[in-house]
Amino acid sequence: MVGGILFFGFLAELPLWRSAYTLQLATDILTFTVLAYSWNLISGFTGYLSFGQVSFYGLGAYTTALIVLHTPAPWYAAVLAAGLASGLAACVLGTLMLRLHGILFALGMAGLARIFAVAASDWEFAGDSVGITLPAQLTPVAVYLAMLALALVAFALNLWFTRSGFGLDAISVRDDEEAASSLGVPGMRVKATVFVLSAVLPAIAGGLVAWNRSYIDPSSAFYPTIDLQTVVFVLFGGIATLWGPLIGTCVLMLLGEQFLVHFPELELALFGGLVIIIVLVLPGGLVALANRFGWLLPPVILGPRDLPAGKPPPPREGMSDRPVLDVDQLSVRFGGVCALDRVSVQVAPGETISVIGANGAGKTTLFHAISGLIAPSTGDIRYRGRSIVGVPPFRRAQGGIARTFQIPRLMETMTVWENVVLATRHGNQSKRMIEHTAWAIRSVGLGELWRSPVNTLTPGLRRRLEVARALALDPDLILLDEVMAGMTRHEQEDIRQVLHGLRELGVAVIAVEHVIAAVADLSDRIMVLDFGRVIATGPPEAVLKDAAVLRAYLGEAQ
């Protein structure tokens, strides 16, 4: 933070001793800094690779120019209005564009920029392909200071993303949107908000550039190279980091100027070679190099200085005999395949039910239907007396349904703490976030590893972390999908102790498990699935001796 204050303070003093060339170069650097930080929001933190941010840059330039020419509005009002117009356009476009993923989103955004350019070229009111000439009213110093203020806003916004719960939500969407929804993260709302923010800043920058140059036309406003340069600057500095966009933009633009002055014929070759070397040697950019020396390290988001002892949530009060979950005649079909066939099960508060069956029996499909990741074909699912069919997964998680996955789906770029606190902030204990998160982490024996990156954990520890994440929601119902698979006996015993504690808290558990011996004595009932149908349900000692179960599950009869 001190470095940022000093850097922007230095830039604020630049007009006092600048030359016209230096001031214009600094203005251009600040312009691309704004664009880089805007691109970093949608592509770095949220993971939506965009090749069309120049759409909003050009839209802002044209909106500003038209307001200036046809209304008495002052320049600053015109620029702010352009930012607002771009934000509104992003609200509309986001509902369509954000349904695309990966290369489709990138191509869609590139196509959007082309559509805007063609529209501007054919719009007589906007000067057609000739463009618009503006009156020279702003001084270079005024434009520079306005762009500096905008760059500071862009920096502050990225700073907020690296330290806030909302930034954590955005990163979780990037890492695994479906898993994030099971932790209560409203993925579409998060993406739409980031998309709008990433559209407003380029639009304001475009308006300032248009006035600075007193001219705008389609080829300059929607120039594809602007997007390419922006992407290169961020990758060179370090994507999804606070300092990467600023460092990458400043270093490459200053080096580019030197290459142009001293090696004009080799400028592009030298520039491209330098970028390729950095990307190959340092995939994380210059910030990754700084991190190796302990510089510019990101903080643990929402993390305390030291891990507190933590406090468990209070036991549930006023629990009734009404089932926490009531699955009634649930069927799920995929084309001609019936994955679940009229499955019914009720789970009472504090009850533990184990679901067993051979591979392909429909166990995970049942969990997907309960948690909202797939829609049932027929039947009903009632949670705490209300049907939740059609309720999105994040709402179910926020309401108290937690789950783990058959193969752990953790947020790979986060730490242990960040994975768990992500769930806590969307659960029932968000008001005591630090204490509850610490309790969940310590409950599964990860207290010594709370700052560790997820990608350093062993398979057994990863499963523990998924359990901690489920506990962090403070749920009424937990769906555990083969949580003890791949664990040592010692690790299994630790998880068994956690399950004992859940019973005391009044939390209902449905556990899919192949390690039957590990959960049999913890289960109030066992339900057996075979090709999507319930073939037995009841106390463990009775079900495990049932002849039909032995034939279906163990392949033998007695």
Range of the domain at 159: 2-222
Asked whether residue 445 is domain-assigned, the answer is: yes
pLDDT along the chain (558 residues), means of 10: 66 71 90 98 96 95 93 92 97 93 93 94 89 81 92 96 97 97 98 98 95 88 93 94 96 89 79 81 91 93 96 75 93 94 95 91 96 97 96 97 96 98 96 96 96 95 95 96 86 87 89 81 92 94 87 60
Q: Identify the pLDDT of residue 56.
A: 97
Last residue of a domain, one of 222, 248, 274: 222
Last residue of a domain, one of 167, 190, 222: 222
Same domain, 334 and 211: no
Q: Identify the pLDDT of residue 20.
A: 83
CA–CA separation, 245 vs 285, rounded Å?
10
Asked whether residue 319 is domain-assigned, the answer is: no
Domain count, the chain: 2
Asked whether residue 350 is domain-assigned, the answer is: yes
Same domain, 60 and 204: yes
Q: Identify the pLDDT of residue 558.
A: 44
**CB-CB contact of 506 with 319 (8 Å):** yes
Asked whether residue 248 is domain-assigned, the answer is: no
Same domain, 409 and 532: yes
Q: Identify the pLDDT of residue 4.
A: 66
Distances (CA, A) of 425 to 78, 370, 422, 450, 501: 39, 22, 6, 17, 22
Same domain, 215 and 329: no
Asked whether residue 177 is domain-assigned, the answer is: yes
Please indicate, yes or no, whether the overall pTM of this predicted structure exceeds 0.75.
Answer: yes
Last residue of a domain, one of 190, 222, 254: 222
Q: Identify the pLDDT of residue 499.
A: 87
